[in-house]
Amino acid sequence: MISRLAAFRRILHRFVRLQSTCPPKFPCVDAHQARESRILASFTSAPAYTPNSQPDTGPEPPYARPNPASYSLYRHSTPFSLIYSKNPLPSFELAYETWGTLSPKKDNAILLHTGLSASSHAASTPSNPSPGWWESFIGPGKALDTNQFYIICTNVLGGCYGSTGPSTLEPISQTPWATRFPVLSIFDMVQAQFHLLDNLGIEKLYASVGSSMGGMQSLAAGWLHPSRVGKVVSISGTARSSPSAIAMRYAQRSVLMADPNWNKGFYYDALPPHTGMKLARQIATITYRSGPEWEQRFGRRLRPLPDNTDASESGPRTPALCPDFLIETYLDHQGESFCLKYDANSLIYISKAMDLFDMTLPALQELGLSPSTPPIASSFSPPSPEAEAAKKPYAIPIPQTPLSLGLKPLSKTPMLILSSQSDILFPPEQQREVFEALKAAGNKHVRYYELGGVWGHDTFLIDVEGVGGAVRGFL
């Protein structure tokens, strides 16, 4: 009996040895090395990198190839104060694009604010006919109707698509700012945009419209300049980032900053942190979509096997440790297609600006912020409950919150707040909170819609009927 067992073991061990001679394969890991080889090959074949059209000696990061012919550039050549930095930015540039025609009275302009990683290319233009990130929402008869309005969209300050950001050359050293770039606030980004509006001679916006981070910016624009913003639309935004959202963006920054290629931000003359960017985008994608959509779209289905797979093998398919479920290949693809398109430092700075965004009164006071327009600014200091009660002795006072007190400067502006029920990054509770705070602040012209559907945070990019219809109706 023992000898039969020993014989069996010998046979078994031969199997194991056979297995040992074939090292396990990990195409998902080899992909990082393969990408690196492709980037290195492009260094020798491509012309030298010129971030923002300025000369540089390093190799070309393939993620930043802005085409200066496809957008307009606003140059601000005097120092620009920043909220969190003792030193102002010596100067800055903003890339922007426009659609429609500015009326002779310059009273039909809509400033459109982007999400984290978008460029100024919201829709196709004669000089750049490729579709923009809000292509279906901008044009004649669309949500932002170019027959009626003049739409302006900028690449945000801190971005990498033509506007000044960490990849821009610092003027003294003539090397990219990298992480010497100052930490930005959403309010800084909006102030930079108002310098562009000054330059265009636009005294008052017909409306400020934005989604995701742009929804934050849209609120900030109306708050900073109550008399210069006619209407405010905030889609899938928030008035203060929640710890959950901070956690999810922190996870992205962590994987990015742990990539040795990131090199504390100084990678512009070397390989970019493409692996960290891929991993960060995979995490981001999880927060942009929703479980119900994936359940419908992918379920538990597996990727199709390559044609050369031996289908005659018996037993269940051997699972791979690399992507095997369709949901995994989807995330892998999203990361792969983004990782060389965007500057890693821009991602870090802009996602940090989103985390820092907080419109509650104590937070605004700590930043020393106040709206630009004196008449409304004077009403910014919260009225005492006694004074309020004296005015309307029989009315029940609406309870004020730190947020409603902070949003007081928006109390006269017609506003639309739109949220998506399946959004896990900016959940509807946060946007209901903005709506309630605006009402408590005395705003009688604020509308709130909650959209159904399964698209999560990305609803604002997909739901042309729901989002577009609400925006069009409101404007």
Q: Interhelix angle for 326-338 vs 274-288, to 10°?
A: 130
Catalytic choice (188, 259, 358, 423) = 423
* Pairwise CA distance, residues 261 & 272, whole Å: 6
Beta strands in 47-182 (DSSP E): 72-76, 92-99, 109-113, 138-139, 144-145, 150-154
Q: How far is the CB of 443 from a copy of itself (least distance, A)?
A: 24
Beta carbon nearer to a copy of itself, 84 or 448: 84
Instruction: Compute CA distances 371 → 191, 234, 409, 463, whole Å.
Output: 11, 18, 7, 33
Q: Is 457 annotated in the active site?
A: yes
Q: What are phi and psi of 377, to 5 degrees?
A: -60, -35
Pairing of strands 150-154, 92-99: antiparallel
Q: Is 30 annotated in the active site?
A: no
Which of 235, 67, 42, 29 lies closest to 161 in space, CA to CA? 67
Beta carbon nearer to a copy of itself, 87 or 312: 87
Catalytic choice (121, 290, 457, 458) = 457
Return the sign of the alpha-carbon dihedral for residues 33, 34, 40, 43: negative
Q: How far is the CB of 264 from a copy of itself (least distance, A)?
A: 5
Q: How far is the CB of 326 from a copy of itself (least distance, A)?
A: 8
Residue 306 CA, distance from chain mean position: 36
Q: How far is the CB of 295 from a copy of itself (least distance, A)?
A: 6
Beta bridge partners of 233: 209, 416
Beta carbon nearer to a copy of itself, 48 or 258: 258
Catalytic choice (119, 212, 241, 404) = 212
CA atoms within 13 A on the CB side of 408: 22
Beta carbon nearer to a copy of itself, 202 or 327: 327
Q: How far is the CB of 110 from a copy of itself (least distance, A)?
A: 31
Instruction: Compute CA distances 453 → 210, 460, 463, whole Å.
Output: 20, 11, 8
Beta carbon nearer to a copy of itself, 203 or 429: 429
Q: Which residues contact 456 (CB under 8 A, 6 or more apart)?
A: 288, 289, 290, 293, 420, 422, 423, 424, 425
Q: Are 232 and 414 in contact (CB under 8 A)?
A: yes
Q: Which residues contact 381 (CB under 8 A, 6 or more apart)?
A: none
Q: How far is the CB of 85 from a copy of itself (least distance, A)?
A: 7
> What is the secondary structure of 323-354 as a DSSP string?
S-BHHHHHHHHHHHHHTTTS-HHHHHHHHHHH
Beta carbon nearer to a copy of itself, 266 or 379: 266
Beta bridge partners of 128: 125
Beta carbon nearer to a copy of itself, 427 or 466: 427
Q: How far is the CB of 68 from a copy of itself (least distance, A)?
A: 25
Q: Is 195 annotated in the active site?
A: no
Q: Which residues are catalytic?
A: 212, 423, 457
